[in-house]
A and B are shown apart, each in its own frame.
Chain A
Amino acid sequence: MIINHPLLGPRDAQEFTYLGDANLINRPDWQAEDAVDQFHEYLYQRDNPAGKHRELWYHEAGDRSWLVVTRDTLTHEITGVELARDVALKSGRGK
């Protein structure tokens, strides 16, 4: 597979390490009343779609950026690649 890195252009997927669903960015609030439940949902439960999947890849043999890749799990077609940091910032994550 080839991942079109937003900064570095097309790169062989072999340069990357896969983590999983991009929802792993959305780490819950540790002080929430039901924090354990929220963390359980966050860490263990998956949509696991057959189709478009937003997922995290790490450019281990490259610039060490984490990417959010939108890829179809049926065809492996990639339709979007973003810097995970941008995605995280956009979703309101900060310090």
Chain B
Amino acid sequence: MSYSGWRVIKEALSGHKGWKPAWRDPVPASDYDFVIIGGGGHGLATAYYLAREYRAKRIAVIEKGWIGGGNVGRNTTIIRSNYLLDGNEPFYEFSLKLWEGLEQDFNYNAMVSQRGILNLIHSDAQRDAFTRRGNAMILNGADAEMLSVEQIRQRYPFLNFNNARFPIKGGLAQHRGGTVRHDAVAWGYARGADRLGVDIIQNCEVTGFRIKGGICSGVETTRGFIGAKKVGCAVAGSSGRLMAQAGMRLPIESHVLQAFVTEGLKPVLPGVVTFGAGHFYVSQSDKGGLVFGGDLDGYNSYAQRGNLPTVEDVCEGGMALMPAIGRARLLRMWGGIMDMSMDGSPIIDKTHIDGLYFNGGWCYGGFKATPASGWCFAHLLATDKPHEVATAYRFDRFKRGYMIDEKGQGAQPNLH
């Protein structure tokens, strides 16, 4: 069933009796060509593109809980491609282009909203670094614009221009950046994949891999063994736990990142704004809540919750930048588990075990990468070769010395 305005009207006039489940609830088959572990954004997108772009059949996504319950359902919904390094920028620009056609592609309104992202600049050194970055973006075919303080003031008059500890000196804008209704991304991919025949199996936890002679032939799950020619893992913050079952250690730590939303407010912020002198970035959802976040709590965690010092740190950044939001009330805080890699960049690669593939290390940039991650992982699974925009995302880059370190923080995941 295709979704459209006409369909909504027709159903409204006939008692909404015609709506069908957005995806089926199939019983797992005994084996598949492809089993994707992880019913989050990346896993579902992988299945969708495997079926659609690579014409693969017999695909299952298995999810230990309910789909979209991991980081795709608990992020701050931002999309952008404002990366610096050659290993990253083409990939994220590919992703942004996929976002731009996504809703028509999978027939689901995920509210891709390109209202722009603005990274504020507070020092000359920052300006130099952002100039280099903006140029890298443009040279890679993305859009970027350097805004003056006056241009920023016109768009965001309520930023702290008067008594700031770290005055705003400009900003790097990407107008094609923006936000997306995050849950709808998972649902759109799930529905799209389901319509292409993918089995989405919820409440099915992987308890082990069946590996013999260096070959993976399937997964043990709480719903029995499921055979697979190829198994792809896309479980973000749970990567360490899952891959340990295949005997692997990863260049990844799991950290908690908190995010926040205020009560609904009439429109204040058109786009995304990031503070360059503190840990704070913010956008406003279509419902009116200010959605904001900041830094990691900083310690390894699988707990999906954080502590007060980080909440305070983020709100201090918010007040330093936007003293006008002081009386807006923080409504809800939550934590997601980030798969923080050793250089801040992801891995989409085969493992040393035949038939076992890995996608992870997204740090807190996974949401915006969802379409490209799915596409590139599907490409790898289908062809056994990395996609041309994801050639740098290899396991061995640390051993060989090809780190992709946007922030220049080295092998300390909580600083990326």
Q: Which of B230-268 contact A (CB under 8 A)?
A: 238-241, 244, 249-254
Contact with A along B34-62 (1 / 0, CB 8 A): 00000000000000000000000000000
| Chain B residues near A14 (CB-CB < 8 A) | 309
Residue of B nearest to A71 (CB): B299
| Chain B residues near A43 (CB-CB < 8 A) | 342, 398, 411
Residue of B nearest to A36 (CB): B399
| Chain B residues near A21 (CB-CB < 8 A) | 253, 300
| Chain B residues near A50 (CB-CB < 8 A) | 238, 240-241, 254, 302
| Chain B residues near A7 (CB-CB < 8 A) | none
A-B contact count (CB 8 A): 72
Is B301 in contact with A73, judged by CB distance below 8 angstroms? yes
| Chain A residues near B254 (CB-CB < 8 A) | 48, 50, 73
| Chain B residues near A1 (CB-CB < 8 A) | 299, 307
Is B303 in contact with A44, judged by CB distance below 8 angstroms? no
Is A76 in contact with B303, judged by CB distance below 8 angstroms? yes
| Chain A residues near B298 (CB-CB < 8 A) | 18
Is A20 in contact with B300, judged by CB distance below 8 angstroms? yes
Interface size on B, residues (CB 8 A): 26
Residue of A nearest to B249 (CB): A45
A37, CB-defined interface residue at 8 Å: yes
A46, CB-defined interface residue at 8 Å: yes
| Chain B residues near A53 (CB-CB < 8 A) | 300
B148, CB-defined interface residue at 8 Å: no
Closest-CB distance, A22 to chain B (whole angstroms): 11
Known pairs A43-B411, A45-B251, A49-B240; A55 contacts B398 (CB<8 A)? no
Is B303 in contact with A20, judged by CB distance below 8 angstroms? no
Interface-central residue, A1, A40, A48, by most chain B CB under 10 Å: A48
A47 to B300 alpha-carbon distance, docked (Å): 11
Is A20 in contact with B252, judged by CB distance below 8 angstroms? no
Main secondary structure of the interface of A (DSSP, over half): mixed
| Chain A residues near B300 (CB-CB < 8 A) | 20-21, 48, 53, 55, 73
| Chain B residues near A19 (CB-CB < 8 A) | 412
Is A20 in contact with B250, judged by CB distance below 8 angstroms? no
Contact with B along A62-86 (1 / 0, CB 8 A): 0000000001011110000000000
B70, CB-defined interface residue at 8 Å: no
Is A75 in contact with B303, judged by CB distance below 8 angstroms? yes
Known pairs A1-B307, A14-B309, A50-B254; A44 contacts B299 (CB<8 A)? no
Residue of A nearest to B308 (CB): A14
Besides the known contacts A45-B249, A48-B253, 13 further A-B residue pairs in the complex with CB atoms under 8 A apart: A1-B299, A1-B307, A20-B413, A20-B414, A37-B399, A43-B342, A44-B398, A46-B240, A48-B254, A50-B238, A50-B240, A55-B299, A73-B300
The 16 listed contacts between A and B (C-beta, < 8 Å) are A18-B298, A21-B253, A36-B399, A43-B411, A44-B342, A45-B250, A45-B251, A46-B240, A48-B240, A48-B252, A48-B300, A49-B240, A50-B240, A50-B302, A73-B254, A74-B303
Which residues of B are in contact with A by a Cβ distance under 8 Å? 238-241, 244, 249-254, 298-303, 307, 309, 342, 398-399, 411-414
